[in-house]
Structure 1
Amino acid sequence: MKAYIFPGQGAQFTGMGLDLYEQSTIAQELFEQANKILGFAITDIMFEGTAEQLKETKVTQPAVFLHSVILAKVLGDSFQPEMVAGHSLGELSALVANGVLTFEDGLRLVSKRAMAMQKACELQASTMAAVIGLEDTLVEETCASIAGVVVAANYNCPGQLVISGELKAVEEACEILKEKGAKMAIILPVGGAFHSPLMEPAREELAAAIEATVFSEPTCPVYQNVTASAVTDPAEIKKNLMIQLTAPVKWTQSIQQMISDGATEFVEVGPGKVLQGLMRKIDRSVTSSGAAI
């Protein structure tokens, strides 16, 4: 079975999407539509902007979403997913790809998500850190032993776990984890504590927007970050998406479950090759590649 996977924030690069725009009238129409929905010319920043401009929250998330979703649309009849999953933000791309959300509704939710997360980040000093080379349980136990808010946020692949929380708590966790043998425990250049309890204000804001959006029957199962299992019921998909911002991204578990359920080939749809790199660390027995037009 063929599975399509969609990257999240951090996959962006300067010039992203320009090749799609130049090669496809479908892409041109969708990019222009996106400019109108967002109220600014995101194409100018994607195609010609600097890395700093692309890092702005209101730009980054829609940019990665647009690259992924428009690439899937441009693939046309060759795009026939039997299962989909997306890493964090990428879950919204996956939900457009399997017909749960329209392009327009997906983009509006991504824009709302980005703004809500930005606001939540400004409420207190918070961050995320990558921990390399330790068992998940040891990282989880260490986080639980610290007085401040710090939790496991992204289970990216075996031996790579991202933690998230209050700045001082994350810094303390990093020091303890290094003492416990982590090859690396390094603060990431992110705006705040994504996928932690500190995102609760953003979750509430996004949940209201999700509640007001129509979710349709999917064409194939989506393996959601929150459950790491196949979901096809629109009401359940909606509920899981509402809690995604404060819950961990169970990426390793999702990929392992997809393989267990019959996935033999994974295709990354969107900018960069981050997910292909993680695939090789999760399970080398299946093939992974990037989608190309």
Structure 2
Amino acid sequence: MTTKVAFLFPGQGSQNVGMGADVFAASDAARRVFTTFDETLGFSLSDLCFQGPEETLRSTINAQPAIVAVSLAYLAAFQEALSPHNSSWTTPLAPSYTAGHSVGECTAMVAAGTIDIKGVAHLVRERGRLMHEEEEICPGGMAAIIAMKEDALQQVCEDATRQCLQQLDQKAQQHPGMGRVVLANYNAPGQIVISGEQKALDTACALAKERGAKRAIRLSVSGAFHSPVMQPAATKLAESIAATQIQDATYPIISNITAQPITGASDLRSELSRQIAESVQWTRTIEYLAAQGVKVFFEIGPGQALAGMIKRITRDVDIINIGSVEEIEKAVARVKEF
């Protein structure tokens, strides 16, 4: 096949109660994914995905492994539908590149052969646990700022941080995220997500609207991801990553941090630990893939958030969603046209 394709995987915030239930019922390959996650984690993650409750599923410690499990289940079912007796993460349809948004990057690493399913189950559960721990120590959140230029929003974050730091005593400033808010996710032109400690985030949202932002939309996440609030979690996660078997990638993974391809195991280890406290360069990721001639983007997993972003970043590409059994059937038909 000459058409270049990329497999893309969503991050936290895409979860919903009921996700994956249809593919669990329809696909042996998908059931194996869920069973492996359940057995590895020691509880029924699949039941949590299918039945909730929503509040429990939304918690960072659960949402992260849940999204990775569901995304991998749909990928496995899709490849199985293409070739029932000869399928793997990248067979029969092999991507030219893989990428994931935030925790979706962990899914991409499985698809690229760098880590096995048991390893990623343990890793994303620990990733979620450590990030949840920092949520409790330094509460915060994230907000999408609509229709504000990057440089203006950067100034908003700097001003909000300065105001909040001036109001903190020296003891409170000992946590690296306290009083700070930063640009976190460069999702698409006109949509940048900011992230930070709660008061700093509130201050920045108010300033952004005062200075012309169309909207400030709070995200369905419980912490200040991709900000200094998560720096202690990144340091601790590096220890878990060091104990995890990770190998070179079969297909290039586009880094959240640099928007450049990485394949080496040591670079992947660094990426996994650093990215939870650094910005997600999603706009640059899609621009890079388009510049490399990728014409078909598969968004594999719950929701269609990535498709919406891609449409705002580039044109003249096909976006195929795989987040239901019905969408798998449509995707198989599309692949046969390549």
Shorter-chain TM-score bucket reads over 0.9
Which stretches in structure 2 are left out of the alignment for 5+ residues? 80-86, 163-178, 323-327, 330-338
Partner residue in 2 for 1:139 = 153
Does residue 247 of structure 2 align to residue 216 of structure 1?
yes
* Structural mapping, 1:31-46, within 5 Å: 31-46=34-49
| Equivalence for 1:6 | 9
Q: What does residue range 194-205 of structure 1 map to in structure 2 within 5 Å?
A: 194-205=225-236
| Amino acid corresponding to residue 96 of structure 1 in structure 2 | V
Which TM-score applies when normalising by structure 2?
0.83
Deviation of 1:145 (Å): 2.6
Q: Verify the 8 A CA contact 2:11 2:101 in the aligned structure 1.
A: yes
Which of 172, 184, 192 is the matching residue for 2:223?
Answer: 192
Q: How does 1:1-293 map to 2 (within 5 A)?
A: 1-74=4-77, 75=79, 76=87, 77-146=91-160, 147=162, 148-291=179-322, 292-293=328-329
Q: Bigger CA drift: 98-107 or 66-75?
A: 66-75
RMSD between superposed Cα atoms in Å:
1.4
**Number of residues paired by the alignment?**
293
Structure 1 counterpart of 2:217, one-letter code: I
Per-residue displacement from partner, 1:184-226 (whole Å, max 9, x unpaired)? Answer: 1233342111100110121122111111112212121100101
Shift of 1:155: 0.6
Distance (whole Å) between structure 1 residues aligned to residue 15 and residue 141 of structure 2: 20
The runs of 4+ residues in structure 1 deviating greater than 4 Å are: none
SS in structure 2 of the partner of residue 220 of structure 1: coil
* Contact residue 113 and residue 250 of structure 2 kept, 8 A: yes
Change (3 A) 1:163 1:16: same
**In structure 1, what is the equivalent of residue 171 of structure 2?**
none
Asked if the contact 2:12–2:221 (Cα under 8 Å) also holds between the matched residues in 1, the reply is no
Match of 2:137, as an amino acid? L
Gaps of 5+ in 1: none
How far residue 100 of structure 1 moved from its aligned partner, in angstroms, is 0.8
2:24 match: secondary structure: helix
Residues of 2 paired with 1:6 and 1:127: CA distance? 22
Q: Percent identity?
A: 39
CA contact (8 A) 1:72 1:79 kept: no
8 Å contact 1:157–1:282 — kept in the other structure? yes
Contact 1:128 1:192 survives alignment (8 Å):
yes
Q: Distance in 1 between matches of 2:284 and 2:263?
A: 18
When Rg is computed on C-alpha atoms for both structures, the one with the higher figure is 2
CA distance in 1, matches of 2:210, 2:142: 19
Using the TM superposition, give the Cα deviation of residue 98 of structure 1 relative to its aligned residue in structure 2, in angstroms: 0.7
The letter for the 1-side match of 2:241 is: I
- Greater mean alpha carbon deviation, residues 106-115 or residues 65-74: 65-74
**Would you say the 8 A contact 2:209–2:215 is kept in 1?**
yes
Structure 1 residues 95 and 290: alpha-carbon distance in aligned structure 2, compared to 1, 3 A threshold = same
